[in-house]
């Protein structure tokens, strides 16, 4: 990244950083900075980042409400970093099963044995039954569209069905409706 101070631009690199993609702001730890030999001097208006040896003002963060904002430009390398080695990924059979769209454990073991996937390691032994897979294999009983015998009088047999909750409630605030169908009439 580049910092700007009194018309001067400095290029520096932050090391030992934590990547938090969901964080809306980038935060600098003043204690980490002092471990690196850069002290922070706070005033009510700004915070100065000062190199300890030799004493040298590096950057100035201007106060914005309760934060001191450091104006930096992210300096992107021109070329992409290409990984040269293949780091191995260790996970349990259960986790591989989830990662690989619920494929069978035999297939996972085969992939590891035949090195079909590079850098894949299974740790621990057998997995527990996967509830998602069990649900996927379940079938429900058929609901017949007609009954074998019919009612012989009004209200002899009434079919009822409840529907809801609906995503959008009615103006009156209702989210369900129920139907009653008389078999005879
Ligand atoms: Zn599964």
Residue 55 located in a structural domain:
yes
Distance from residue 134's CA to the centre of ligand 1 (Å)? 7
Closest to 38 (Cα-Cα) out of 54, 52, 59: 52
Q: Which domain holds residue 65?
A: 1-78
Mean pLDDT of the chain: 84
The Cα 151–Cα 185 span in angstroms is: 9
Residue 132 located in a structural domain:
no
How confident is the model at residue 171, as a pLDDT?
93
3-state secondary structure of 85: coil
Residue 130 located in a structural domain:
no
The residue that leads in pLDDT, 142 or 76, is: 142
The pTM of this model reads 0.39
Distance from residue 132's CA to the centre of ligand 1 (Å)? 5
Lowest mean pLDDT among 45-49, 60-64, 71-75, 92-96: 71-75
Question: Is a pLDDT exceeding 70 seen at residue 127?
Answer: no
How confident is the model at residue 148, as a pLDDT?
80
Residue 135 located in a structural domain:
no
pLDDT mean over 10-17: 77
Distance from residue 4's CA to the centre of ligand 1 (Å)? 53
Contact criterion met (CB below 8 Å) for 39 and 50: yes
pLDDT mean over 7-11: 80
Distance from residue 133's CA to the centre of ligand 1 (Å)? 4
The residue that leads in pLDDT, 22 or 162, is: 162
Residue 37 located in a structural domain:
yes
How confident is the model at residue 77, as a pLDDT?
62
How confident is the model at residue 140, as a pLDDT?
83
Contacts of 47 (CB under 8 A, 6+ apart): 40, 41, 60, 61, 63, 68
Write out the residues surrounding ion ligand 1, Cβ under 5 A: 102, 130, 132-133
How confident is the model at residue 85, as a pLDDT?
64
The Cα 30–Cα 13 span in angstroms is: 15
How confident is the model at residue 160, as a pLDDT?
93
Contact criterion met (CB below 8 Å) for 134 and 140: no
What is the token pair recorded at 120?
Answer: 């894949």
Alpha helix ranges (H) inside 72-156: 93-99, 105-113, 131-137
Quote the number of domains for the chain.
1
Distance from residue 89's CA to the centre of ligand 1 (Å)? 20
**Other CB atoms within 10 A of residue 47 CB:** 20
The Cα 115–Cα 164 span in angstroms is: 50
Lowest mean pLDDT among 2-11, 50-59, 60-69, 77-86: 77-86
Residue 183 located in a structural domain:
no
């Amino acid at each position: 990244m580049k910092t700007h101070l009194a018309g001067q631009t400095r290029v520096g690199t932050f090391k030992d950083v934590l990547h938090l993609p969901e964080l809306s702001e980038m935060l600098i730890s003043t204690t980490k900075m002092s471990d690196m030999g850069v002290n922070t001097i706070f005033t009510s208006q700004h915070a100065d980042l000062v190199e300890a040896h030799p004493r040298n003002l590096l950057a100035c963060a201007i106060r914005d409400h309760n934060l001191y904002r450091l104006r930096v430009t992210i300096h992107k390398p021109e070329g992409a970093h290409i990984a040269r080695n293949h780091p191995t990924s260790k996970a349990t059979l259960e986790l591989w099963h989830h990662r690989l769209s619920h494929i069978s454990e035999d297939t996972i073991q085969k992939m590891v044995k035949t090195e079909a996937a590079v850098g894949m390691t299974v740790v621990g032994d057998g997995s527990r039954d996967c509830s998602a897979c069990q649900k996927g294999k379940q079938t429900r009983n058929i609901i017949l569209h007609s009954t074998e015998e019919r009612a012989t009088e009004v209200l002899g047999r009434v079919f009822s069905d409840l529907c809801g909750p609906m995503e959008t409630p009615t103006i009156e605030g209702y989210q369900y409706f129920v139907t009653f169908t008389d078999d005879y009439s």
